[in-house]
Amino acid sequence: MSFSWAKPYEPKHPLARWLDERLPLPRLVYGAIGGGYPVPRNLNYFWNFGVLAGIFLTIQIVTGIVLAMHYYATADGAFNSVNQLIMRDVNAGWLLRYAHMNGASFFFIVTYIHIFRGLYYGSYKAPRELVWMLGLVIYLLMMATAFMGYVLPWGQMSYWGAQVITGFFSAFPVIGEPIRVWLLGGYAPDQAALTRFFSLHYLLPFVIAGVVILHIWSLHIPGSGNPTGVDVKDEKDTLPFHPYYTAKDGWFAAGFLLVYALVTFYVPNYLGHPDNYIPANALATPAHIVPEWYFWPFYAILRSCTFNLFWIDAKLWGVLAMFGSILLLFFLPWLDKSPVRSGNYRPVFKRFFWLLVIDVIILGYVGGAPIVWWRTALGQIAAAYYFLHFLVILPLVSAFETTDPLPNSISESVLSGDAREAPVAVAG
Amino acid sequence: MPVKRLWQLPAKGADQKMFLRAILGFIGFIFALALILSLGSGLKTYFQNPPAPLAAEEFHKEPKPLDLSSDGPFGKFDKAQLQRGLQVYTEVCSACHSLKLVSFRDLKDLGYNDAEVKAFAGSGKQWKIEVPSINPETGEAATRKALPSDTFPAPFANETAARAANNNALPPDLSLITKSREGGAAYVYSLLTGWANQQGYRNEKGEELLKKFPDAKTPPGLHFNPYFANLNIAMPPPLTTDGQVTYADGTKPTVDQMAKDVSAFLVWTAQPDLERRHAAGLAVAIFLLIATILAYLAKQQIWHSDERRAVRETGVLDPENQAKTSRAKAKAKIAG
């Protein structure tokens, strides 16, 4: 977009020219995801996950709109409308429901890969700080949407999940409990909570879509990053988005949807929890209340705080740590001061990055499993490392690390074999 | 020159960033401290007062393996088995357990025709519970024979009635039981064949339950079953003797066989979509596989074009890229 060599949109057909003078929508699309957007030529497959996230957002919105046509947002009708009407009586209702249920999980899988891609390749650094921060806003909205969606079938985990998550607010002294009651519309999750969660669950995906537009817009000002982290220098460093990256994204998306289809059709309940097939019961607490898998690392951080430090009690520490663990990511562009973006050229950073990946996996495991003393201890160490990693280790590493030499340019980094030996011969 | 106060932000951009990093580092340190203190206090509590072992943890058994024809990606229901399972449910389980989400017309999936479904629901010979209704003349509460469009009527009018008849225990609805329990059908099968005599009961390690946990004796009104989460279940063994039901297809109705059949039936009640899902999944997987291969070949074609091959000449190495940090610059002897 911002490159001088970006191909201009030149409509040939008179009708296209007529439209372009009045409503240049095709021009916008051409510049955004067509031949008019130059992309670094050396992207690897980790750069496919943004498009995949967009695909899953679309799948969720489409299946969700149809499910909403059959769903009853009432405390005594919600469970049956999902498990009887939709799963048994609506034509292909089981497919819609399983696709939506697993679509949420896959949306998070691709989003997590997308986020860790950004962490490794320094995608949060100047000039893309706002791209990163808008992405985090999308992630927070996704979490809110997924949580409220999980409440809608009104099973046991729906109910008790709503109970626990809205309970976070009551950890704050004085104002906490009134806020919780105000959010729920009552003292416990019930009809009022269910109806407003349904309303917001329908609204938020469109808010996400709006922020996605801002995310892409702010990305297209500096243009996409790349695995070397070296800036684009001239036309030879880039390829037009279409057809190169549409083709690359296309086949990868088809392959990824194959994995999604296999889970949806053959193990549709693998990522869920059996207790959510029991109708909500305010009088029977499940033995182990756990959120969906994509919240496990944060749930582990929440449960890890068991010590009253200073004048703040353990529960509030847990809630602060959990929110803090996400909010600190907004400061990442200023925590990491290394001018080198890509982890490929940062030997020390690279090691800590993989340590962080392992750390988050451990947190996820601890958050999803029942409480045992050694698991709690492991979770506490992992949670402490999480904070130290971002707030202490990363700034220090970025200040003291000796980075490896960067390639001269993107084109140089992709040259190999014959091309490297005789670059002039293949130059166009 | 103004007096510099402690709470004043540094004026220069670089100093502000340094200040921000210091504050955030301090916050990170405080969180880590809270967590490490939590770790210490947790470990101290654990070693000073180790939690007492629980009978339910050490004597609870994992479900026995169960092979059903509906297992696996190409699994299909064994319709004869489902029919036998329906018979066990109708003659045994339905005395206490409802099947509220299933309609009689769904039974066509089991291989019955319309007339058979109608006869099953409404003749009063096989299915005996009637559907709550009103008397069309007086409007008073009444019951009527079930129709294929009805869901299975429940044995008790409401939860209170169910509890009153069952020693204050509530028999759960069975429609989704194989989806709502860890272990699914294998759990149901194991539970149905799992009642044991608690006297002298030993686990796999050979420990005797009542010797190790004398307090774990099953209270009156409950029944010992090691497959149940807390070992004591309100339900008495429902399948007690071979030949409790008489199968029309000649299968020998042992307790084990009846338990297997009803478990298979309950897989169907929880997932009537299973066969359609498996068939549709295969079609979708084949479609996506072909789409992936074609799209991959298209991508290869596009990426091997001439335009892609045209790459820039390599110039002299740019020292700015070579050494970005001050340390690297010092090492490479680059000024600035």
Q: How far from chain centre, in Å, is Cα A380?
A: 24
Q: Give the closest-approach CA distance of A59 to chain B in angstroms.
A: 15
- Of the residues B99, B278, B321, the best mutation for testing chain A's interface (the one with the most A CB atoms within 10 Å of its CB) is B321
* Residue B186, in any domain of the structure: yes
* Predicted local confidence at residue B323, as pLDDT: 55
Is the model more confident about A352 or about B196? A352
Pairwise CA distance, residues A204 & A369, whole Å:
30
Is the model more confident about A88 or about B13? A88
* Predicted local confidence at residue A418, as pLDDT: 45
Q: Which of A11-25, A82-96, B310-324 has the lowest mean pLDDT?
A: B310-324
Strand B223-224 vs strand B232-233: parallel, antiparallel, or unpaired? antiparallel
Interior angle at CA B16, CA B15 and CA B21, nearest 5: 95
Work out the average pLDDT over B204-230.
Answer: 83
* Residue B162, in any domain of the structure: yes
Pairwise CA distance, residues A182 & B182, whole Å:
36
* Predicted local confidence at residue A141, as pLDDT: 96
* Residue B201, in any domain of the structure: yes
Which positions 66-125 of B are in contact with A (Cβ < 8 Å)?
Answer: 73, 101-103, 106
Which of B101, B229, B324 is nearest residue A340 as measured by Cβ atoms?
Answer: B324
Q: Is the pLDDT of residue A325 over 90?
A: yes
Quickly state the pLDDT bin for B309 (edges 50, 70, 90). low
Interface size between A and B, measured as CB pairs under 8 A? 239
Which backbone phi and psi does A210 adopt, to 5 degrees?
-65, -45
Q: Which DSSP category does B244 fall into?
A: S
Taking an 8 Å cut-off on Cβ atoms, the answer to whether A266 and B278 are in contact is: yes
Q: Give the closest-approach CA distance of A277 to chain B in angstroms.
A: 5
First to last CA, chain B: 31
Q: Is the pLDDT of residue B6 over 80?
A: no
Which positions 236-255 of B are in contact with A (Cβ < 8 Å)?
Answer: none
Pairwise CA distance, residues B132 & B153, whole Å:
8
H or E element, residue B279: helix B274-303
Contact A337, A398 (CB under 8 A): yes
* Predicted local confidence at residue A258, as pLDDT: 97
Pairwise CA distance, residues B38 & B46, whole Å:
12
Cis previous bond, A243, omega within 30: yes
Which residues from chain B sit within 8 angstroms of residue A408, using beta carbons? 314-318, 321
Which positions 250-279 of B are in contact with A (Cβ < 8 Å)?
Answer: 270, 272-273, 276-278
Q: Is the pLDDT of residue A427 over 70?
A: no
Taking an 8 Å cut-off on Cβ atoms, the answer to whether A331 and B24 are in contact is: yes
Kindly report the average pLDDT of chain B as a whole number. 85
Taking an 8 Å cut-off on Cβ atoms, the answer to whether A307 and B278 are in contact is: no
Q: Give the closest-approach CA distance of A299 to chain B in angstroms.
A: 14
Which residues from chain A sit within 8 angstroms of residue B317, using beta carbons? 405, 408
CA quadruple A377, A379, A382, A383: dihedral sign? negative
* Predicted local confidence at residue B80, as pLDDT: 93
Q: Is the pLDDT of residue A416 over 60?
A: no
Which of A265, A314, A409 is nearest residue B280 as measured by Cβ atoms?
Answer: A265
* Predicted local confidence at residue B320, as pLDDT: 52
A251-292 pLDDT, tens digit each: 999 999 999 999 999 999 999 999 999 999 988 888 888 999
A344 touches chain B (CB under 8 A): no
A285 touches chain B (CB under 8 A): no
Which residues from chain B sit within 8 angstroms of residue A285, using beta carbons? none
Q: Give the closest-approach CA distance of A116 to chain B in angstroms.
A: 20
Pairwise CA distance, residues A181 & A78, whole Å:
22
Chain length of chain A? 428
Percent of chain B with pLDDT over 70: 87
* Residue B141, in any domain of the structure: yes
Taking an 8 Å cut-off on Cβ atoms, the answer to whether B28 and A391 are in contact is: yes
A202-228 pLDDT, tens digit each: 999 999 999 999 999 999 988 999 888
Which residues from chain A sit within 8 angstroms of residue B280, using beta carbons? 95, 265
Quickly state the pLDDT bin for B314 (edges 50, 70, 90). very low
Q: Is the pLDDT of residue A424 over 50?
A: no
Which positions 23-52 of A are in contact with B (Cβ < 8 Å)?
Answer: 41
* Predicted local confidence at residue B321, as pLDDT: 53
Q: Is the pLDDT of residue B186 over 60?
A: yes
* Predicted local confidence at residue B324, as pLDDT: 57
Q: Which domain holds residue B127?
A: 65-273
Chain length of chain B? 336
* Predicted local confidence at residue B177, as pLDDT: 95
* Predicted local confidence at residue A94, as pLDDT: 96
H or E element, residue B142: strand B141-144
For A52, residues 6+ apart whose C-beta sits below 8 A from its C-beta are A110, A114, A249, A252, A253, A256
Q: Give the closest-approach CA distance of A285 to chain B in angstroms.
A: 14
Count of domains for chain B: 1
Taking an 8 Å cut-off on Cβ atoms, the answer to whether A408 and B314 are in contact is: yes
Residue with tokens 């030879």: A236
Which residues from chain A sit within 8 angstroms of residue B229, using beta carbons? 287
Output the 3-class SS for chain A.
CCCCCCCCCCCCCHHHHHHHHHCCHHHHHHHHHCCCCEEECCCCHHHHHHHHHHHHHHHHHHHHHHHHCCCCCCCCCHHHHHHHHHHHHCCCHHHHHHHHHHHHHHHHHHHHHHHHHHHHCCCCCCCCHHHHHHHHHHHHHHHHHHHHHHHCCCEHHHHHHHHHHHHHHHHCCCCHHHHHHHHHCCCCCCHHHHHHHHHHHHHHHHHHHHHHHHHHHHHHCCCCCCCCCCCCCCHHHEEEHHHHHHHHHHHHHHHHHHHHHHHHHHCCCCCCCHHHHCECCCCCCCCCCCCCHHHHHHHHHHHHCCCCECCECHHHHHHHHHHHHHHHHHHHHHHCCCCCCCHHHCHHHHHHHHHHHHHHHHHHHHHHCCCCHHHHHHHHHHHHHHHHHHHHHHHHHHHHCCCCCCCCCHHHHHCCCHHHHCHHHHCC
* Residue B247, in any domain of the structure: yes
Q: Is the pLDDT of residue A337 over 90?
A: no
Which of A306, A320, A339 is nearest residue B41 as measured by Cβ atoms?
Answer: A306
Taking an 8 Å cut-off on Cβ atoms, the answer to whether A309 and B33 are in contact is: yes
Quickly state the pLDDT bin for B315 (edges 50, 70, 90). very low
Is the model more confident about A420 or about A169? A169
Which positions 24-53 of B are in contact with A (Cβ < 8 Å)?
Answer: 24-25, 27-43, 46, 51
Q: Which of A334-348, A359-373, B40-54, B237-251 has the lowest mean pLDDT?
A: B40-54
* Residue B60, in any domain of the structure: no
Question: Residue B178's domain is classified under what CATH number?
Answer: 1.10.760.10
Taking an 8 Å cut-off on Cβ atoms, the answer to whether B308 and A239 are in contact is: yes
* Residue B304, in any domain of the structure: no
Which residues from chain A sit within 8 angstroms of residue B333, using beta carbons? none
* Predicted local confidence at residue A277, as pLDDT: 94
Give CA separation, B186 vs A269, B40, B96, B189, B273, in Å.
Answer: 16, 41, 21, 5, 19
Give CA separation, A418 vs A41, A414, A424, A426, B283, in Å.
Answer: 18, 12, 11, 9, 44
Which residues from chain B sit within 8 angstroms of residue A261, using beta carbons? 281, 284-285, 288
Quickly state the pLDDT bin for A419 (edges 50, 70, 90). very low
Which residues from chain A sit within 8 angstroms of residue B270, using beta carbons? 277
Taking an 8 Å cut-off on Cβ atoms, the answer to whether B27 and A258 are in contact is: no
Work out the average pLDDT over A58-80.
Answer: 95
Which of B175, B229, B321 is nearest residue A406 as measured by Cβ atoms?
Answer: B321
Taking an 8 Å cut-off on Cβ atoms, the answer to whether A230 and B321 are in contact is: yes
Taking an 8 Å cut-off on Cβ atoms, the answer to whether B33 and A338 are in contact is: no
- Enumerate the active-site residues of A: 220, 224, 248-249, 292
Taking an 8 Å cut-off on Cβ atoms, the answer to whether A277 and B34 are in contact is: no
Q: Give the closest-approach CA distance of B68 to chain A in angstroms.
A: 15
Q: Is the pLDDT of residue B46 over 80?
A: yes
Q: Is the pLDDT of residue A92 over 60?
A: yes
Q: Give the closest-approach CA distance of B264 to chain A in angstroms.
A: 18
A104-134 pLDDT, tens digit each: 999 999 999 999 999 999 999 989 999 999 9
Taking an 8 Å cut-off on Cβ atoms, the answer to whether B281 and A262 are in contact is: yes
Work out the average pLDDT over A299-311.
Answer: 85
Q: ipTM of the predicted structure?
A: 0.88
* Predicted local confidence at residue A428, as pLDDT: 34
Work out the average pLDDT over A43-61.
Answer: 95
One-letter amino acid at A419 equals A
Pairwise CA distance, residues A271 & A265, whole Å:
13
Contact A281, A123 (CB under 8 A): no
Work out the average pLDDT over A333-356.
Answer: 91
Q: Give the closest-approach CA distance of A77 to chain B in angstroms.
A: 12
Quickly state the pLDDT bin for B89 (edges 50, 70, 90). very high
CATH of domain A37-289: 1.20.810.10
* Residue B28, in any domain of the structure: no
Which of A269, A309, A414 is nearest residue B311 as measured by Cβ atoms?
Answer: A414
Percentages helix, strand, coil for chain B (3-state, rounded to 5) are 50, 5, 50
Taking an 8 Å cut-off on Cβ atoms, the answer to whether B324 and A403 are in contact is: yes
Work out the average pLDDT over A328-350.
Answer: 91
Report which of B16, B17, B36, B40 is spatially closest to residue B28, judged by C-alpha positions: B36
Percent of chain A with pLDDT over 70: 96
Contact B224, B196 (CB under 8 A): yes
* Predicted local confidence at residue A42, as pLDDT: 85
Pairwise CA distance, residues A423 & B310, whole Å:
9
Strand B131-134 vs strand B223-224: parallel, antiparallel, or unpaired? unpaired
Pairwise CA distance, residues A209 & A206, whole Å:
5
Percent of chain A with pLDDT over 90: 64
First to last CA, chain A: 23
Q: Is the pLDDT of residue A423 over 50?
A: no
Which positions 371-410 of A are in contact with B (Cβ < 8 Å)?
Answer: 373, 376-377, 380-381, 383-385, 387-388, 390-392, 395, 400-403, 405-409
